[in-house]
Amino acid sequence: MKVNFKFKGMKKFSCIWASQFLSVFGSGLTRFGVIIWAYQQTGSATSLSLLSFFATLPYVLISPLAGALVDRWDRRRVLIFSDLAAGAVTLGLLLLFLGGHLQIWHLYLSEALLSLFGAFQDPAFESSVTLLVPTDQLTRANGMLSVATNGSRIFAPVMGGLLVNWIGLGGIMGIDLATCLAATLVLAFLSIPRPVTAQSNTPDNRQLWQNMAFGFRYIHQHSGLQGILLIFCGVNLFAALTYFGVMPAMILARSGGNELALSTVQAVLGAGGVVGGVLISLHGGPKNRVNGFLFTNGISFLMGDFLFAVSRSIPVWVLAALVSSLFIPYIVSCYQALWQSLVPADVQGRVFAAKNMVQVGSMPLAYLVAGPLADNVFEPAMQPGGSLAGIFGPLVGSGPGAGMGLMFLGTCVMGVTISIIGYLSPSIRNLEKSV
């Protein structure tokens, strides 16, 4: 592997990247603490999957409007406002918790509000990367972002597992507020350039509803972009059903409620992501980003999901977490770099919002059904003597958590299948040449 240490033109981006690492770490602490608290209150997979459902539905519904407005507004101000609004939500939860009034529905409401603000923040930040980083550094920049995101997955569960018994959920939320403030201050003192706007794409010359539809029209006109978007939509669907929807409940069920087991697996998921992100940041990623996206996606599902399906112990869960997450930075970085390099900067807010709406659109449904499927269908079927235990029991076992393991086996097959379909599509294979 040839290591390329050329990071020219990335100083300002690197400052923002470092501040976002702190912010994501703080949010990860709160997320872990909330998961443990919610499971202790209810003991069901449904309550955890509903947290994720409310964290995505508003995002999907508001994304077209958010993208149209992001192309009209100063993107730095959008990012600052989104960070401050998220901090206000965390502060509200903290006050409820300290007053002894925190309930499950408060968590659902807070996730919905954070999702709403994220619908503005994501297209603003994604399109800002294009303005801050040279085109030949885009895959590397997205790799660095993956390091920040996955780095928090290492430290947040480990620290969360320790801190939840030391300073409690309230103390964890206080740390989250401090990191959010730090990220906001960095944005306040740095500028983000405005894109050069083509006359035909000037947002102010269009009606708002036309701006909202523009991103969908643009994607519809480019079959290759449409194809990778549908593949990523499938990736999110399968990940929502298992990794995000039922994995915490599966680990807790199969380990007898062992919080250390869950925090260890989540930390290793982050560690694999950091290793992958560092590698792609150093060597700049595959030259053929379409191949990088499809190949690493198939490998991640084939190895990671299968091991999660059959494993029944912490060491094998750790191995599954490592091999699945190692390739995620490659998947995301290649995918994001394709969009950032092929879509003009002055319309990226609208196009990226449409992209985000579609690729996240499958997740609320998956979250909504993941818990009930686990609790009412697959778990009963995989108990000793259950309807599916005789067929799949030798592979995934039986008893608590086995039904959720069977769900991982299903996503393993489907994830590999969509990568193969991508390779068979000429418009996807030739995307970088055709757009």
Report whether pLDDT(295) > 90: yes
Q: Per the domain annotation, does 99 fall within a domain?
A: yes
Q: Per the domain annotation, does 96 fall within a domain?
A: yes
**Cα separation, 332 vs 414, whole angstroms:** 18
Q: Per the domain annotation, does 199 fall within a domain?
A: no
Which pLDDT value is given to residue 162? 65
CA distances from 375 to 237, 255, 399 (A): 19, 17, 12
Chain segment 348-381, per-residue pLDDT in tens: 777 887 887 788 777 778 877 888 888 889 999 9
The neighbour count for residue 188, using CB atoms within 10 Å, is 12
> Average pLDDT of 213-229?
87
> Average pLDDT of 28-44?
75
**Cα separation, 118 vs 352, whole angstroms:** 13
Residue owning tokens 């999957």: 49
Helical (H) or strand (E) element with 31: helix 11-42
Q: Per the domain annotation, does 39 fall within a domain?
A: yes
CA 197 to chain centre: 30
**Cα separation, 43 vs 47, whole angstroms:** 8
Which pLDDT value is given to residue 146? 66
Q: Per the domain annotation, does 105 fall within a domain?
A: yes
Which pLDDT value is given to residue 421? 92
Count of structural domains, the chain? 1
Buried-state track 55-87, b at ≥16 Cβ within 10 A, e below 16: bbbbbbbbbbbbbbbbbeeebbebbbbbbebbb
* Bigger pLDDT: 319 vs 329: 319
Which pLDDT value is given to residue 4? 44
Report whether pLDDT(114) > 70: yes
Chain segment 118-147, per-residue pLDDT in tens: 888 777 777 777 777 777 677 777 777 766
Q: Per the domain annotation, does 126 fall within a domain?
A: yes
Which pLDDT value is given to residue 6? 47
**Cα separation, 435 vs 422, whole angstroms:** 17
The CATH number linked to 318 is 1.20.1250.20
Report whether pLDDT(68) > 80: no
The secondary structure of 131-172, three-state, reads HHCCHHHHHHHHHHHHHHHHHHHHHHHHHHHHHHHHCHHHHH
**Whole-number percent of the chain with pLDDT over 90:** 12
Q: Per the domain annotation, does 197 fall within a domain?
A: no
Q: State the Cα torsion 342-344-347-350 to the nearest 10°.
A: 10
Q: Per the domain annotation, does 44 fall within a domain?
A: yes
Q: What is the residue range of 265's domain?
A: 11-191+213-434
**Cα separation, 105 vs 207, whole angstroms:** 37
Nearest to 263 by CA among 404, 165, 145: 165
> Average pLDDT of 181-191?
82
